[in-house]
């Protein structure tokens, strides 16, 4: 099945499939670190083939198999969360712009890969339409770009942060909510940040976006009260992932700094918490869970050796 699908998609993806994956990954990581779109090499028709394949895969599942959708599953917290949910028996739909990465992950965990840019409403709609069933949505896609005062801020970086963290989450929620409700026991997990709890200097593009994402998520908890859907916000502190590399456009030295002198969380620490949330019975709603390294007190205060 995979062979057939890859041959439809062609060049770049076949290369990853047939042995040059490391090179493709490196190229993708470089493009990613420099903020380039990774959707460039996937045409709409190739993406549509993937959604059609996803529809078939979900339709073929046993009636009792629950489906979880994880956005931003190509690295870090999303990737680890997909593995955890798959271990718990969910069929996991893994979405991201770096499709070669989610394809490899889907193959490993027995899930389904989807090309997904959460800021692209056509893609979000096509994915939602393809999925006959959705029990869990993990709004994880997101991140930060740059660090500067409001007066010096780069508006494009702000736009990226707001479009990805806020509007991306909004698009996913609106598209998938009917299916979450129809499941009879839907669950929405949104990964915000300690940046949603605190305003700090030189971080306003990210703090405002994560605050807005948090308020969006919490508003739905009220608006859907009485419906069979639960809402959990997970609020991580320092987690060592690609987050910082993306924020500093691939500058490894700058990216390493936030994690120096303390032991940060790893993606699996957060993923285990998502797994715990997803394994609670239907009447239990964990509203908000804050998770930080022991050495981190708050967004701005940490004990460093």
Ligand X SMILES: NC(=O)c1ccc[n+]([C@@H]2O[C@H](COP(=O)([O-])OP(=O)(O)OC[C@H]3O[C@@H](n4cnc5c(N)ncnc54)[C@H](OP(=O)(O)O)[C@@H]3O)[C@@H](O)[C@H]2O)c1
Burial bucket for residue 29 (CB in 10 Å: 0-12, 13-18, 19+): middle
**Side-chain-side CA neighbours of residue 253 (13 Å):** 0
164 belongs to the binding site for ligand X (CB under 6 A): yes
| 84/241 with CB nearer ligand X | 241
**Secondary structure E strands in 43-100:** 67-71, 91-96
117 belongs to the binding site for ligand X (CB under 6 A): yes
Q: How far is the CB of 277 from ligand X (least distance, A)?
A: 15
CA distance 97 to 117: 5
For the chain, the 3-state helix, strand and coil shares in percent, each to the nearest 5, are 50, 15, 35
**Side-chain-side CA neighbours of residue 86 (13 Å):** 19
Structural element, H or E, at residue 81? helix 76-87
246 belongs to the binding site for ligand X (CB under 6 A): yes
Q: How far is the CB of 281 from ligand X (least distance, A)?
A: 26
| 38/157 with CB nearer ligand X | 38
Per CB under 6 A, the list member of 72, 186, 203, 275 interacting with ligand X is 72
Per CB under 6 A, the list member of 203, 236, 275, 293 interacting with ligand X is 236
191 belongs to the binding site for ligand X (CB under 6 A): yes
217 belongs to the binding site for ligand X (CB under 6 A): no
| 117/135 with CB nearer ligand X | 117
CA distance 275 to 86: 10
| 227/290 with CB nearer ligand X | 290
Q: How far is the CB of 199 from ligand X (least distance, A)?
A: 16
CA distance 265 to 259: 9
Considering 51, 200, 206, 303, which one is annotated as catalytic?
A: 206
Burial readout 95-110 (b: 16 or more C-beta within 10 A, e: otherwise) = bbbbbbbbbbbbeebe
| 186/264 with CB nearer ligand X | 264
32 belongs to the binding site for ligand X (CB under 6 A): yes
Is 206 known to be catalytic? yes
115 belongs to the binding site for ligand X (CB under 6 A): no
Structural element, H or E, at residue 156? helix 155-161
Per CB under 6 A, the list member of 74, 84, 112, 208 interacting with ligand X is 74
Q: How far is the CB of 226 from ligand X (least distance, A)?
A: 29
CA distance 189 to 112: 19
Residues that bind ligand X (CB under 6 A): 32, 38, 71-78, 96-98, 116-119, 140-143, 164, 168, 191, 193, 236, 238-239, 241-243, 246, 267
The residues annotated with a catalytic role in the active site are: 206
């Amino acid at each position: 099945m995979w062979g057939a699908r890859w041959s439809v998609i062609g060049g770049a993806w076949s290369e990853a499939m047939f042995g040059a994956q490391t090179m493709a990954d490196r190229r993708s990581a470089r493009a990613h670190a420099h903020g380039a779109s990774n959707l460039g090499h996937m045409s709409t028709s190739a993406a549509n083939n993937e959604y059609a394949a996803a529809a078939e895969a979900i339709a073929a599942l046993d009636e009792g198999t629950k489906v979880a959708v994880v956005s931003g599953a190509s690295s870090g917290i999303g990737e680890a969360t997909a593995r955890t949910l798959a271990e718990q028996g969910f069929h996991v739909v893994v979405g991201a712009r770096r499709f070669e990465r989610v394809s490899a992950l889907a193959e490993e965990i027995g899930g389904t890969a989807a090309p997904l840019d959460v800021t692209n409403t056509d893609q979000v709609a096509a994915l939602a339409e393809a999925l006959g069933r959705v029990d869990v949505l993990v709004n994880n896609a997101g991140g930060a770009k740059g660090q500067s005062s409001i007066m010096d801020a780069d508006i494009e970086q702000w736009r990226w942060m707001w479009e990805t963290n806020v509007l991306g989450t909004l698009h996913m929620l609106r598209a998938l909510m009917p299916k979450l409700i129809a499941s009879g026991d839907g669950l929405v997990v949104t990964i915000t940040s300690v940046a949603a709890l605190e305003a700090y200097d030189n971080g306003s593009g990210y703090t405002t976006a994560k605050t807005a994402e948090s308020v969006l998520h919490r508003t739905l908890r009220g608006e859907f009260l009485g419906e069979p859907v639960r809402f959990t916000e997970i609020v991580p502190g320092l987690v060592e992932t690609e987050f910082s590399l993306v924020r500093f456009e691939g500058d490894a030295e700058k990216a390493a700094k936030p994690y120096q002198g303390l032991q940060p969380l790893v993606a699996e620490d957060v993923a285990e918490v998502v797994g715990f949330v997803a394994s609670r019975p239907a009447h239990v709603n964990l509203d908000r869970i804050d998770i930080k390294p022991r050495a981190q007190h708050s967004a701005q205060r940490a004990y460093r050796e």
